[in-house]
Amino acid sequence: MKFKMTLILLAVNVLIFSFPLNNIKTDDMNLIYYSNSHSYIIPHISRCYLRTWDYYKDFWKYKPYEKTSIFIEDFSDWSNGGATAVTNNFVYISMSPYMYVFEVAPAAERMSLLMHHELTHVLAMDMYSPQDYFFRKLFRSKIQHTADDPITFLYGYLTNPRKYAPRWYHEGIAVSMETWMGGGIGRAMGAYDEMVFRGMIKDDAHFYRMVGLEAEGTAIDFQVGANSYMYGTRFFGYLAYMYGPDKLVEWVKRDKESKGFYASQFTKVYNKNLSEEWDRWIEFEREFQLMNLQRIRQNPVTDFRPVNGSKPMGSVSRSYLSKDRKKLFVGVKYAGQLPGLMEIDLESGKKRKICNIKGASTYFTTNPVYIEDENRIIFTTDNFYRRDLNTVDISTGKTELLIRDSRTGELALNKVDKSIWGIRHENGISTIVKIDPPYKDWTAIYAFEYGSDLYDLDISPDGTKLTGALTQIDGNQKLVYYDMAALQSGKVVENLIYDFDYSSPANFVFSDDGRYLFGTSYYSGVSNIYRYDFEENDISIISNSETGFFRPLPISNDSLIVYNYVGGKGWQPGFIKNENVENVSAIAFLGQKVYEKYPYIKEWGDGSPAKINLDSLKTYEGKYSYIRNFRNKGTYPIIEGYKDYMAYGYLMNYSDDIGFNSIKLSVSYSPIGDNLKDEEKLHLGCRYSYRMFNLRGTYNKADFYDIFGPVKVSRKGYSYGAGFTQSLIYNKPEMMNLSLDFDGYGDLKKLPEYQKIGSDFTEMYVAAAKLDYKFFQNSLGHVDDEQGAAFSVNVQGTKVNSDIHPKIHGDFSLGYLLPVKHTSIFLRSAAGYAFGDRKDSFSNYYFGGFGNNYVEKKHEKQYRKYSSFPGFDINEIKGKSFVRNMLELNLPPLRFEEIGNAAFYMRWLRMSLFGSIIHTDIDNDDKAYYYNAGTQIDLRVVTLSFIKTTFSIGYSTGWDRDSNREEEIMFSLKIL
């Protein structure tokens, strides 16, 4: 066996060194990237980082605890970033262009902006007081709380208290710094955010208070997590305006004079209660936006006539008129329903869903193209991660995948030859592509230089012009067109239609005769409709909206369909007249008010990254070493349970800087135990992981949750094993994984899987393979999976002495979303067969109980597992073969908005009903049947913004075919 383990270890180490990553280091930076295709942008990213970091160290009077690792990736189609300071300072950068829809992101040079934003997150969590520094040294790192050892929550707060603040706090300061560092280009000066809050006042929409935003607002609102950006940015803008930007810096800063908890520090700095100040901001916002509405109303407001019976639909895509011009086709996404392509009758307002949209975007939903004479729509799915191209028959709803991972959007149809044109994002570059019928492949036409992007494409009816909004690296945006014939011959000539300065020329589409373009822009601060006349070479404004008009669609010479933004609810389709407006008034921006009141923030900025001499700062450039970057990521005391006894010890974590290569070592000891033999008092655990591989071992396995029971996983004896997990399908939310495992056991007194089934073997070997698939689509505001399917197949062979005991079992789940919001019904089935002697414990399956511990780390709904059967005792039911069926009804959650405070609040309460039947020994004359019916109620609470705890109570009654009846009541607290 030692020889076998040596071979396994050798094979794993060969694979470790076969995946090279590239690495550049300076004294402050550890940048890692995986593709040579990204090398062109690496020097620029490095300079952006170093310039920002140098500035921040001086600005915040901050000495970093450690250097920051930066991982550059191209997994998604849109620019994005993420940051943490736990366990180490880490930033990831997605290098694709920004998403400009509705101007939710600025068109500025994205790497500088991302560094301003993400490094604010790092320093806001990494800054430390002497007390924080002491605990970081004591525990050898900043500690990440984990469900395996819940006591790490305390260690995490002691080493990094500012991490435990709500997302609006972290995004509020990051967006503020991003805007001020960018000379006013950023979301704190964004017209979209102004519109959202102006719309909330105009339409008397609900404002979330501080607790309500986190408890409910980031889940049920169609903008979900984006609300943290908007509310946080707006509240920080209010504080900056009322009390000065320096106060904000003082609030966020962490030093020896500051308080650890963010809300306590607010009181110290502002001498005010945070929640009460939030309420004062809401009143300020009301007055500010009423003033803006008065400005708009100085000129006649455009009359908007909604489509009959229509309501706001959350986010919407570009739309099209049907061939008979009586119906509207549009992609929508709003709370409580699966996103999809909709058909809307323009006379009655009646809606019909054509098909669901997998991976719908929060804002643009999908990029559709309507092919009129074929009565179908080409549309995109996976609209954030590597977009796919699909087609759907409008009449039948039947869909077909055309191009997987096309990474192409901004689609426009050339009606002359039926080719589809779009913009493809890859390796940070935007490329015009052409997709000819039957739309199974694409052809690259022209690749823009880094920093330029084209979006919102349209093609003239005669197929001669391709129009779009062109962004440039300095943030300037223009409406342009290209000659189609010249494009296809390799001659790329940009023809200016109109320069919109720093405002987006969005949604521009041709009229049927090709003379006009209709589109939108926040040029006056409000999104209005603009019309460009090719014959007159003239642009005019044809609306004066109080909130904002978007996505115009000309339907006649005298009218348009537009989408009106309704505060807090999204976009509503309706009609406006196609006629010029004499004047519109500019609105006031809160960010601009801050600039005017405190002009010194105009000096906040790090200057050009080109000034950084990168070559002189490099300390290393070459391949990333998993060994040289391997370091201690935390050493701390742990508490574990072994059988009915307590064990005390230490855990040591080691990992490389990006977490690909890690090892966890634990040792504990049970000092008290009258019935515990000396040989069982020591407990050891080890797990080594590299990507999809792991090696593991235990001696007298102990576990924190065994302290509480009733489910026990601690075992006398030793174990060792190796595992491999590979994603066969990674196409969120569709996933398929293959797992292969080998484990050896010795000196066990209970079977590893079944705590009440004894054994007297010396050695046991288990080889297992598992194929696991799931594909669930969920509506906005869901708290559980709602619609879709999942299955798994498990094959296992157990060798004991000279006997081999094979087993196979599988699970299948099928769920449907019912018409009532967030109400779903599931059929969950499982079946299994064990080969061998029925009298042998290794040739049986065992069932019973809810499966929850009193204090738990596993999913709260353990009754869904095939081995659970509430109403009976743990492992009470057994069978060599079995078939299990469960019908489950999940009721809509009851949400709480205002129960709690900054440190602790309730989020939701949900209830599920279930009934099951299990048929065991189906291959034997002595068959057995068992039944149950029960319910479970779960209450979710959140502590310190990050600690999501679930209280569960369940009841079930079970009976056999002879009507012998048992009952079970379950109480459980799921920590983290």
Query: Average per-residue pLDDT in the chain?
Result: 93
pLDDT at 12 over 60: no
Q: What is the mean pLDDT of residues 350-364?
A: 94
10 Å Cβ neighbour count for 786? 23
Per-residue confidence (pLDDT) for residue 3, from 0 to 100: 36
CA pair distance 688, 656, nearest whole angstrom:
12
Q: Can you tell me the distance from the alpha carbon of 743 to that of 284, in angstroms, rounded to the nearest whole number?
A: 63
Do residues 585 and 542 lie in contact, with contact meaning Cβ atoms separated by under 8 Å? no
**Interval 901-926 mean pLDDT:** 92
Q: How confident is the model at residue 19 (pLDDT cuts 50, 70, 90)?
A: low
Q: In the structure, what pLDDT confidence band is assigned to residue 531 with cuts at 50, 70 and 90?
A: very high
* Residues counted in the chain: 976
Q: What is the pLDDT of residues 248-269, one digit of tens each?
A: 999 999 999 999 999 999 999 9
Q: 737 is written with which tokens?
A: 């994984």
3-state helix, strand, coil in the chain (%, to 5): 20, 40, 40
Give which of 680, 654, 686 is closest to 667, Cα–Cα: 686
Mean pLDDT of 518-530: 95
Which residue type occupies 217? Answer: G
Contact 463, 415 (CB under 8 A): yes
pLDDT (tens digit per residue) in 87-97: 999 999 999 99
Does the pLDDT at position 743 exceed 90?
Answer: yes
Judge whether residue 17 has pLDDT over 50.
no
d(Cα 195, Cα 547) in Å, to the nearest integer? 6
Question: From edge to edge, which strands make up the β-sheet containing 90-94?
Answer: 80-84, 90-94, 68-73, 29-33, 22-25, 620-623
Name the residue with tokens 């007159």: 536
Give the mean model confidence (pLDDT) for residues 734-738: 96
Least confidently predicted of 310-314, 402-406, 761-765: 761-765
Instruction: Please give the average per-residue pLDDT across 436-449, as a whole number.
Output: 96
Helix (H, G, I), strand (E, B) or coil at 127: coil
Q: What is the 3-state secondary structure (H, E, C) of 357-380?
A: CCCCCCCCCCCCEEEHHHCEEEEE
Whether the predicted pLDDT of 223 surpasses 90: no
845 in Cβ contact with 697 (< 8 Å): no
> Are 234 and 278 spatial neighbours (Cβ–Cβ below 8 Å)?
no
**Residue entry with tokens 């490094």:** 119
Mean pLDDT of 314-337: 93
* Predicted local distance difference test score (pLDDT) of residue 753: 86
Does 5 score more than 50 pLDDT?
Answer: no
| Cα 13 to Cα 2: distance, rounded to the nearest angstrom | 17
- Cβ atoms of 52 and 606 closer than 8 Å: yes
Q: 598 in helix, strand or coil?
A: coil
Name the percent of the chain lying above pLDDT 90: 83
Alpha-carbon distance 564 to 548, whole Å? Answer: 6
Is residue 808 within 8 A of residue 865, CB to CB? The reply is no
Q: Quick one: DSSP state of residue 384?
A: S
**pLDDT (mean) for 123-145:** 97
pLDDT tens track for 627-661: 899 999 999 999 999 988 999 999 999 999 988 99
Most confident by average pLDDT, 46-50, 186-190, 746-750: 46-50
Q: Give the Cα separation of 304 and 564 in Å (integer).
A: 8
pLDDT reading at 894 higher than 90? yes
Q: State the pLDDT at residue 759.
A: 76
